[in-house]
A and B are shown apart, each in its own frame.
Chain A
Amino acid sequence: MSVILREEVIQRLGEIGEADILVGIPSFNNADSIGHVVRAVQAGVAKYFPDKKAILINSDGGSGDGTREVVERVIIDDFQPLLINQRQDLLSKIVTPYHGIAGKGSAFRTVFQIAKELNVKACAVVDSDLRSITPEWIELLIRPVLERNFDFVAPYYLRHKYDGTITNSIVYPVTRALYGKRIRQPIGGDFGFSGKLAEFYLTRDVWDTDVARFGIDIWMTTTAVANNFKVCQSFLGAKIHSPKEPSSDLSAMLMQVVSALFNLMEEYPGQWKEVKSTSPVPLFGFQFSVGLEPVKVNIERMINMFKLGMTELGDLWKVILSTESLSGLQETAKTEPFSFGDDLWARVIYDYALAWHGKVMKGEHMLKTLTPLYLGKVASLVIEMADTTAGKVEERIEALCIAFEKLKPYLIDKWE
């Protein structure tokens, strides 16, 4: 038994013995939303896996708002309104604080450990602040593992064309170009995975790094792909969270995501350098789209931020960026209407990856200088996509990805 599990949890696992399915919910002060997630999990397991032994794990970061009590208390007594036949045994629950550094990664580590102890066949992890989760999510995350032998199921959400801009402009193009798998939302946050992969995750020595704090999502995806586990995607529909704290600062968020991405590049250079082309990843689930609601976007502010960066951060960018990128940015600043080319953007991101690799500056400072450039690229994409449909937006993102793929030899060449 592992040292990361508490004595009472170990005892409980001994009573349970083994399980087929495990659903993990990491939490920290989510009392207002976690009840809905627990009910969705319970209904999903009852509806789609009535003959499987399932367990729900709430791995909590020390909530003070009664989150754990809500998980313990919430239960669906009557499945009839949901048109689900009553299960003979109720879903087992284990509510436990996690061990280690505060963060989603440490919460997941506890989930992986319990999956290993119970010899679980298929696992899913879902966020505790989801408003849009339905019982179908559990089926879509679990069934590809149980019945199609996939090891990792990435989520595929229905999103507004302007949403997920860090994913669309950086994470998706870079992971796709590097590792060769077209996983559309590598940092989705809700995943399915096999017991074998959970055990593999546990063997990695990352639990005292930033992976434990943030970056677990991209780490799980990349680890699965880079180590040749069988991956697929499931269409889950819209992902709606509880409203976030307004303090979630863009440059800090960007720094966290990009540093996790770059750290993984350091871990798997042997793998990504060998990848010469990309391939599609199977997508399960019934896809649909809805009309686009208007979203407020202040393009002028984004362009002004980009131009302010051009004026003030030039000396720092000279240390990070290549001369081609710098001259390209100067040209970009003069464009009317504003346009930030895909080739230039790919080069800029690769230059940052190379600068991170070369450790030319304190990492946090370096990645925070990316914010004005990122806003410039987002402004350019928003201008281009103003009158396009969701389908056209995907074509646009595809073109961006191809720019990253074409420029990959530049990255490989400069890496050493």
Chain B
Amino acid sequence: MGRVFVEQFKEFLGKIAGFLPNLLTSLVLFVAGLLIAWLIKSVIVRLAAFLKMDAVSERTGIVQVLQKGGIKEPVSRLAGRLIYWVVLISFIIMGLDALQMPAVENLLGTFLLYLPNVIVACAIIVSGYLLGNFLGRAVLIGAVNAGLPIAGLLGKFVKFTVFIMAVTMSLELLGIGKDTVIIGFAILFGGVVLALSIAFGLGGKDAAKDYIDRMLREKKEEDDIKHI
């Protein structure tokens, strides 16, 4: 009885002894990850400052977008922080992998397979938001300069359509309610177009008539001014 207990204890100690190097490796990787992530973050922040990333972001409208989302940090620091976490998470994953525990390995495998989708989905949403804003603004300005009274509506329509399309693509990529989202989007988009057509065709037929009349009249009454 005592010998069985001793054998079991020895086996346990053997496993612990076998596991300790893995644990140590894992801890070393974690600490190294912390240091390297901090180092890379510092380099990125300085490089971003050298490349005037904050000024460029302000010019391209990225800062305004982030501010609307409640993020007030400079883009250079944000980029540094993002890189910090990517590097640190990579080291944590390596550290967990170094533990060589089957349950952790399985979990990691699943997580790692899904992670790229999450990153790409986030990138699509951010790009969709920026592109939506950009195109919406371009359409708004173009429509105002063309004298279209529905310029504001057109600008918003383009902006939200692009954003909703980006969200739909992201959700599809993540596999969340795959078919439901696509069908939902199609119904919503088709519905909006149909509703607008009906509203314009029936409800706003007089307004549409007035508008077309005015357009034709103004076409006839074009200026002879030479601007240049």
Residues in A lying within 8 Å of B, measured CB to CB: 159-160, 162-167, 187, 250-251, 253-254, 257, 295-298, 301-302, 304-305, 308-309, 311-313, 316, 359-362, 365, 368-369, 371-372, 378, 382
Contacts and interface: CB of A to CB of B under 8 A. Distances in A.
B62 to A, nearest CB: 12
Contact of B221 (A160, A296, A378, A382): A296
B228 interface: yes
A362 B223 CA distance: 30
30 contacts: A162-B225, A164-B226, A164-B227, A164-B228, A165-B226, A166-B227, A250-B227, A296-B221, A297-B223, A298-B221, A301-B147, A301-B218, A301-B221, A301-B223, A308-B149, A311-B152, A312-B144, A312-B152, A313-B140, A316-B137, A316-B140, A360-B58, A361-B59, A361-B61, A362-B60, A365-B138, A368-B142, A368-B145, A369-B144, A372-B145
B151 interface: yes
B222 interface: yes
Contacts of B61: 361-362
A298 B61 CA distance: 37
B141 interface: yes
Contacts of A297: 223-225
Nearest to B154: A312
Nearest to B228: A166
A77 B61 CA distance: 63
Given A308-B147, A308-B151, A361-B61, A254 B223 contact: no
Contact of B224 (A295, A301, A309, A368): A295
Given A166-B227, A187-B228, A365 B141 contact: yes
Contacts of A305: 144-145, 147
A360 B59 contact: yes
Given A250-B227, A253-B227, 18 more contacts: A187-B228, A250-B145, A254-B227, A257-B228, A296-B224, A311-B152, A312-B143, A316-B141, A359-B55, A360-B58, A362-B59, A368-B142, A368-B145, A369-B144, A371-B144, A371-B145, A378-B225, A382-B225
Contacts, number: 91
Interface string B55-91: 1001111000000000000000000000000000000
Given A301-B147, A362-B60, A368-B145, A165 B225 contact: yes
Given A304-B147, A305-B147, A308-B147, A313 B225 contact: no
Contacts of B228: 164, 166-167, 187, 253, 257
Contact of A372 (B58, B144, B223): B144
Interface in B171-228: 218, 221-228
Contacts of A361: 59, 61
A168 to B, nearest CB: 10
Contacts of A360: 58-59
Contact of B225 (A163, A251, A253, A372): A163
Contact of A309 (B60, B144, B155): B144
Q: For B144, B152, B218, B228, which residue has the most chain A Cβ atoms within 10 angstroms?
A: B228
A312 B140 CA distance: 8
Nearest to A374: B227
A392 to B, nearest CB: 18
Nearest to B143: A312
A378 B228 CA distance: 12
A119 B226 CA distance: 38
Nearest to A302: B223
A184 to B, nearest CB: 14
B28 to A, nearest CB: 47
B164 to A, nearest CB: 21
A368 B226 CA distance: 18
A166 B155 CA distance: 28
Contacts of B134: 362
A297 B221 CA distance: 8
Contacts of A368: 141-142, 145
Interface in B96-143: 134, 137-138, 140-143
A280 to B, nearest CB: 24
A254 B155 CA distance: 22
Contacts of A313: 140-141, 144
Given A309-B144, A312-B144, A365 B224 contact: no
A170 to B, nearest CB: 10
Nearest to B60: A362
A163 B59 CA distance: 35
Contacts of B58: 359-360
Q: For A305, A311, A312, which residue has the most chain B Cβ atoms within 10 angstroms?
A: A312
Q: For A165, A166, A302, A313, which residue has the most chain B Cβ atoms within 10 angstroms?
A: A313
A295 B226 CA distance: 10
B227 A165 contact: yes
Contacts of A302: 223
Nearest 7 A/B pairs, CB to CB: A359-B59, A163-B226, A251-B145, A296-B224, A295-B224, A312-B152, A371-B145
A263 to B, nearest CB: 15
Contacts of A296: 221-224
Contacts of B224: 162, 295-297
A308 B223 contact: no
A386 B151 CA distance: 31
A297 B224 CA distance: 6
Contacts of B152: 311-312
Nearest to A313: B144
B216 to A, nearest CB: 13
Contacts of B147: 301, 304-305, 308
